[in-house]
Structures are given as C-alpha cells and as structure tokens.
Homo-oligomer: A and B are copies of this chain.
Amino acid sequence: MHKRRSEDWALESGCYFLKNLYNLSDLSLEEILLILQEAEAFRHGATFEGAAGKIVANLFFEPSTRTHYSFQTAQLRLNCKILDFMPETSSMRKGETFYDTVKTFESFGIDLAIIRHSQNEYYNQLENLNIPFINAGDGTGNHPTQSLLDLMTIRQEFGHFDGLRVAIVGDIRHSRVAHTNIGIMQRLGMEVYTSGPEQLRDANDNYIDFDKAVRTMDVIMLLRVQHERHSERTQMYELSPQEYNRLYGMNHERLEMMKPGAIIMHPAPFNRGVELSDEVVECPQSRIFKQVQNGVFVRMAAIKRALGGF
C-alpha cells in the first residue's frame, strides 16, 4: 500500500476530487494561494452548494474547542450535516484504536473527516481509508488551517507576502502553529525570525532579540504559553506572568516601539497579562479577532477543496 497524498486523489479519479489537507508542505504555492482566494470569496459572501447535506465528522481526539467551533461554524455556513466526536469528553472508545474509530466513522458513510490528534503525523495511519481528511492539528507537528488563516490575515493587511518580516514569539518548540508557519512563510518569501525564552527555541530557528523584533518586524506573532504541552520542566515555569510579559510580551511600552503599519497576531486563546497586556488585545495594531473571523472562511475553503469543489 503506497502512502496516499493529496495529489493521488486527483490522479486516481482523473479529475480534481477528494483532496486531503494534512500539512502545507505537501501543497504547492499555487494550491495555497488558491485556497486563500476561495477563502476571500467566502468572506465576500460566496456560497458552495456542493457541501450542502454532506456529512462531516469532527473527530477531536485531542480537545480543541476553538478550532472545533471554527470548523463547526464553517460547516453550518456550508449547510453540512455534522457529527461531533470528542472521545475525552464523551467517555467512548473503551480501548478502541485510533484507526478503528476512524474506520468506524468511514463505515457510517461520512463524506469528510476533520481530525485532531495528539500524535504527530497520525494521518499516516489512515492511508487505507477512502474518505478525505482535513488535519485540525497533529501533536507538535502541523496545523495547516491555522497557518492559512494567518496568511489570509497578513495578505489582507499588506497585499503580498514577499519580503515581509515576521517574528514568531514564545514557545516555538512545542508549537505546531510555529512549525507550520515557519515552513510556509519562508516558501512565500517572508523573512521569519523567532524570539522568546531560550529553553523553548528549536535548534534551527532564526533567533532575534524581542525588543529588536518589535522595532523592525511587519508582523509580531505571539504564541500562547501552553503549560499543557510541556513535558519537561522549562525555565518559563520559573517566570511569573508579569516577568514573562516584561521580557517577551506585548504591552503599552512596546506598542509605542512598533514600526508604523506593523501588526500583532496571536492564534488564541491568549493569556491576558502574559503574552499581551489588556490594552493590546483590541488595540489598532491587533489582528487577533480578525484572525478568528478569517479562520471560518479558510476552513470553508478547505472543506470545499476536500469535497472536490476546486
């Protein structure tokens, strides 16, 4: 059995039909720009009748309410029929394997599955199945729809990607948002830097001092301090919220240092008083809730694509 990738679906069926979205590295830049274009169309009121009545199963093996509700909203807007499965809160599974659970939903006759799982590249176990999948986050690996909504937000602001300078700040090592964004942003011609506590860096990052980043970047992308993913004890734990904010957080003083036209992003949920102070959340430079808005449109586009809409 060969490993099935998104292109294979198209090849097998002889037309564009049933396309997975596991990660962005499998996609060409043309494909990514096409998804963003479809998302913009949805933002401007486009509809897609091909999704109406399709049964979509949200299989969230790892809890993620925000991404889950964003996908649900996208599905409601597209008039999909929705199955929501969250094993950790629903007491199911009784020792059933991940593969058997997904195969069971396939057997129910669903048309599409949105999957989140704590295991990196879990989707390699699913090559045997015959329905399309959209990855809603795999461990510390990929989070393609989050990156797509970030790209959509950046392009709305600057009209292009090439040459833009972005600093991703915080827990780089454990963040699938950071991993996915660094890869695709570099391919799109952006200059990507990282900043934050030394213990949370990846080996291959492009480190920049945070205050220097604030003064020079077009995009300051803050990451959430996510205690639940730290398996080792890191120095970040020894920082109080106030101290984290003083060293690596956006606050009133740093707002004043920012380059004109520069923006602040955060994948949310954010910790007020840690990654950013209260006055930053809805300040003129913040695009945080804009990102949430765009998330719904990007996911509508991903669903349209998965169902063969483009």
Q: How many copies does the complex hold?
A: 3
Interchain CA distance A86-B63 in the complex, whole Å: 13
Question: Is B109 in contact with A92, judged by CB distance below 8 angstroms?
Answer: no
Question: Is A292 in contact with B104, judged by CB distance below 8 angstroms?
Answer: yes
- Interface hits, A58-113 → B, CB 8 Å: 63, 65-66, 69-70, 72-73, 76-77, 81-83, 85-97, 100, 103-110
- A89: chain B residues at CB < 8 Å are 89-91
Interchain CA distance A87-B292 in the complex, whole Å: 18
Q: Which residue, of A70, A85, A108, A110, has the highest number of chain B Cβ atoms within 10 A? A: A108
A158 contacts B by Cβ under 8 Å? no
A271 contacts B by Cβ under 8 Å? yes
Interchain CA distance A105-B66 in the complex, whole Å: 9
Contact A55 to B69, CB < 8 A, known contacts A92-B63, A272-B97: no
Question: Is B108 in contact with A70, judged by CB distance below 8 angstroms?
Answer: yes
- Interface hits, A251-310 → B, CB 8 Å: 268-272, 281, 289-290, 292-293, 295-296
Contact A83 to B104, CB < 8 A, known contacts A76-B55, A90-B63, A109-B293: no
Question: Is B85 in contact with A69, judged by CB distance below 8 angstroms?
Answer: yes
Interchain CA distance A281-B269 in the complex, whole Å: 41
The count of chain A contact residues (Cβ–Cβ below 8 Å) is 50
Contact of A93 among B104, B108, B269 (CB under 8 A): B269
- A104: chain B residues at CB < 8 Å are 66, 69, 268-269, 289, 292
Q: Which residue, of A85, A96, A271, has the highest number of chain B Cβ atoms within 10 A? A: A96
8 chain-A/chain-B pairs, Cβ below 8 angstroms: A66-B92, A69-B104, A69-B105, A73-B110, A94-B228, A94-B269, A96-B270, A100-B272
Given contacts A55-B76, A89-B91, A100-B268, list 5 more A-B pairs with CB under 8 A.
Answer: A65-B92, A88-B91, A103-B289, A108-B293, A109-B296
